[in-house]
Structure 1
Amino acid sequence: MRTKIDEQQRGRWIGPSLLRPQPRPDLRLGANQGRVSGTGSTTGDRIAVTHTVRTTTAEYTLLFNAPEWLGRRGVGEALRDTVAELRAVDLAYGPTRPESLVSRLRRGEIGPESYPPLADLVDRCTAMRAATDGWFDAWAVPGGFDPGGLLGGWAVERAAARLRAAGIHDYAVLTGADLVVRGHAAHGGPWRVAVHHPNDRRRSPLVLEMTAGAIGTSGVTGRRGHVVDPHTGEPAEQFVAATVIGPDLAVADAYATALYAAGPAGLTWFHSGSDYRALPAHRR
């Protein structure tokens, strides 16, 4: 099945449309988490870059097609700036780091207003707790406030903003089974993203064509019990994975975490009128 998502319809289904022959996906999510399948040929007026960044908590893959006028030096500066942003988020906001701002907030040493990005992170968690009827709750975890359910998506969105500020508007940023895309792939068409079943390679993937938007997934890390029901504190066990598409990865990540925690009951508060859509969830 193939569907299209464009910049005017971010997160909204358009299709399905049948294309023959089926082109090879640029990116794959689900089985073995995020993978780059091959970005095709590069047009003459673009500089294509693929780069992997590893932090203490995550691995990120950056793919972008920079305009030729930016030059090699400009591309290098944009890449360094984007990598620095991802590392800064890990250092400053990682919940497992004793001296991170999140850890200091939990210990009561600082308030959210002390740092504008921290205030934004807390505000997003507060908004998603309300939007999900409490199924995403960054405060309902051992040790206090833990924004991990949307922190990766928040980091990717901040990195993507760095690319746009540098003049790069054709990119994909992946971490695990999550991604953000914008513009076009190196072959000149929309980014083709294959969403696989998390543990059954025999099933055909759902292929999305995207020029803007995000895909957030919860449950494919291979660690059962890593998401808990915030109302009971018990591990969530009803779904193998939950996937949400929409304009912003931090929001999509939080929705996916909430759906994973809630199981089928989550569909009662996940309203179809929003800019976010849940893909079919896989039950255990």
Structure 2
Amino acid sequence: MGTVFSFDVRGGEPTAVRGALDEAVAGLHAVDAMFSTYRDGSQVSRLARGELVLEECDPLVTEVLELCTEAERISEGWFSATYEGCFDPTGIVKGWAAECAALRLAAAGASGVSVNGGGDVQLCGVPGPERPWRVGVSDPLRPGALAAVVSAAGAERLSVATSGTAERGAHIVDPRTGRSAVTDLVAVTVVGPRLTWVDAWATAAFAMGSRQALRWLESLPDTEALLITAGDEVRCTGGLADRLG
């Protein structure tokens, strides 16, 4: 997946949580080996070359493909798992893998879990009594500053994902043209219960541009967003203020 994952795990029976953490880490390595488009031997790469058919792949490949299909439907094609004619789940697999890892730890009894995959975060539970998880959102136009702080207060699960050009440059592809997306946005941060979806929605929204993206994001249930344009204009969904703190 080409990024660093970090874990913050609180509470639970130590042996059970440690075992779940080991399994979660192993699971992330397995997902990378299976889905990486940079590994010639990954199942996704072999599928793209016609060396495998879908039925010969691990069932997780089918699961991710179905998630990609659903994301493409909901985003009206602005999210795409096809690149240069080949299946490329890059836009969804990192968020999905981080979410799976967090849920594994929560199921093992951890009272608070934060899994951060390259800046996109899945949160479960709480870090301590009367203490919600809080996630800082970097300001893409002011290095070292924060544009907002998202609070998970009152939410059993919350995730935060950002897509933009500040750290990785123009890496988001416009699925209509197959070239780098050219929009008025420099960053889109999406907040919702599941990192699988908010990661995909942030990518799709960035490709849309601010006006269309804001209308679309407002239509999604349990989803809030913060959009920052190259002109330093900040736009947000109506309920985002309730998630700041």
TM-score (norm 2): 0.83
The one-letter code sitting in structure 2 at the alignment partner of 1:138 is A
Identity of aligned residues (%): 37
- Correspondence 1:1-284 to 2 at 5 A: 57-67=2-12, 70-71=13-14, 73-114=15-56, 115-139=58-82, 141-142=83-84, 144-186=86-128, 188-201=130-143, 205-210=147-152, 211=155, 212-220=157-165, 222-238=167-183, 239-264=185-210, 265-283=212-230
Give 1:3's aligned residue.
none
Q: Is the 8 A contact 2:138 2:144 kept in 1?
A: no
Number of aligned residue pairs? 225
Greater helix content: 2
Whole-angstrom distance in 1 between the partners of 2:72 and 2:158: 22
What's the CA shift for 1:237? 3.1
Question: Is the Cα–Cα contact under 8 Å of residues 172 and 180 in structure 2 kept in the other structure?
Answer: yes
Corresponding residue for 2:237? none
- Cα deviation 1:111-143 (Å, max 9, x = unaligned): 33442211110011111111111111111x225
Q: Distance in 1 between matches of 2:53 and 2:225?
A: 34
The Cα shift of 1:110 comes to: 2.9
Query: Contact 1:82–1:163 (CA<8 Å) still a contact in 2?
Result: yes
Can you give the 5+ residue segments of structure 1 that lack an aligned partner in the other structure? Answer: 1-55
Higher relative contact order (CA 8 A, sep 6+): 1
Structure 2 unaligned spans of 5+: 232-245
Summarize deviations over 1:175-207 as a string: whole Å, max 9, x none.
222101111114651112222312314865322
CA contact (8 A) 1:133 1:269 kept: no
Counterpart amino acid of residue 196 in structure 1: S
Deviates more, 1:254-263 or 1:195-204: 195-204
RMSD, matched Cα: 2.1
